[in-house]
Amino acid sequence: MTTPTIELKPSSTPLSAAERDAILVSPGFGRHFTDHMVTIKWTEGRGWHDAELVPYAPLSMDPANMTLHYAQTIFEGLKAYKQPDGTVATFRPQANAERFQSSARRMAMPELPTELFIAACDALIKQDRAWVPDSGEASLYLRPFMFATEVGLGVRPANEFLFIVIASPAGAYFPGGVKPVSVWLSEEYVRAAKGGTGAAKTGGNYAASLVAQAQAAEHGCDQVVWLDAVEHRWIEEMGGMNLYFVYGDRIVTPELTGSLLPGITRDSLLTIARDLGYTAEEGRITTEDWKRDNENGTLTEVFACGTAAVITPVGSVKSERANWTQGNGEPGEVTMKLRKALLDLQTGHNADTHGWMHQL
Ligand code: PLP
Ligand code: COI
């Protein structure tokens, strides 16, 4: 099977520069989309074909499309940043391509080759380059995704899929700047169990999380923290972010048990923290450890990390049985130092010593 090249079908009705600039002043997160998208089809026996860069537009769908019924769908999230010399670069697109392949394997879907994943993102960014915000931590968020397009109600892996990349200018995921979030420890609902789909970036994981997120909001919390499915006490991750626990100059993130998402920000921070002289480890932490170590002062900071949310401090914790302020409730020094190091690297203000930036 040959790798298709991406054919351009430009939009005849892009937004005007003035309309686009008005959006870029305050893009929010995931509310506005650029003028184009890349689509690539996959058909059993034929492989990947018909790669096109087309105007961003609604899709028409048969009511018996298998995704609508059985949710064979996966996605990714990565960002493109304007560099000081005016060029644009994405952060670790290869890692996203590889996670997309691993999600595809778990969901019985075809694997998109890494080169095609990166070429699709690059083609879209180049075409809609004017949508890459200018400065600070603003970025162009890319959302590659794939879903079954076969029509039918039989429960089995589909024989046709569509891969799409869309792009959306992104400001802060949590509006209001770096403000610590309050978290709800979910003891009733579980996100994922060993052997399930927790390590895959698949829509169903997010659908299943929403009722717990609503429960967190009912308790006045911003985000839900997921615990393990068996003992309901081992910390796993948050709704769209991984977690880090800071013990002075040692940072610890929950180990990958198979039921949490292997975050690319999480992985990058293990390295960045070591570069900055911290000890960075994967480990296991219970809700009791969290409460006790916060009380005795050894657990100095907790933060969440992810592509959309960058690094966000955790300021308070609540569950059915407990309620505490994390540290003094303010963003911690290590959290903010790591946040700056990560953003400086992504925006080209720190040397890319690990070869993570992909220049377009
Ligand atoms: N955990 C979940 C459930 C997520 O959806 C995300 C976001 O992609 C993350 C963690 C963080 O992953 P990454 O750093 O690759 O964005
Ligand atoms: C991301 O950080 O890219 C995510 O996918 C998190 C969320 C928007 C689902």
Can you tell me the ipTM of this complex? 0.97
| pLDDT attached to residue 283 | 98
Closest ligand 2 atom number to CA of residue 30: 8
Output the residue whose Cα is nearest ligand 2's atom 9.
240
For residue 75, which atom of ligand 2 is closest to its CA? 5
CA distances from 324 to 232, 238, 242, 318 (A): 19, 18, 20, 7
| Cα separation values, 35 from 7, 51, 55, 284, Å | 16, 17, 6, 44
Q: Which residues line ligand 1 (CB under 6 A)?
A: 77, 237, 240-242, 261, 263-266, 306-307
Give the per-residue pLDDT at 11: 67
At residue 33, the pLDDT reads 97
Residue ranges of the chain whose pLDDT lies below 70: 1-2, 11-12, 172-176
pLDDT of residue 137: 81
pTM: 0.95
Pocket test residue of 90, 238, 303, 307 for ligand 1, highest count of atoms within 8 A of CB: 307
Mutate which of 307, 310, 346 for ligand 2 pocket (most atoms within 8 A of beta carbon): 307
117 Cβ contact list (under 8 Å, min separation 6): 93, 96, 97, 100, 144
- Ligand 1 atom nearest residue 209's Cα: 3
Decide: residue 343, CB within 10 A, 0-12 exposed, 13-18 middle, 19+ buried. Answer: middle
- In ligand 2, the atom with minimum distance to the C-alpha of 206 is 9
pLDDT (0 to 100) of residue 15: 87
CB of 326 shorter than 6 A to ligand 2? no
Query: Can you give the pLDDT at residue 2?
Result: 64
The beta strands (E) that lie in the chain are given as 7-8, 36-43, 47-55, 73-75, 78-82, 88-91, 139-148, 160-170, 181-186, 223-227, 235-238, 242-247, 250-254, 279-283, 301-306, 310-318, 323-325, 357-359
- Give distance in angstroms: CA of 95 to centre of ligand 2: 15
Residue 1 confidence (pLDDT): 55
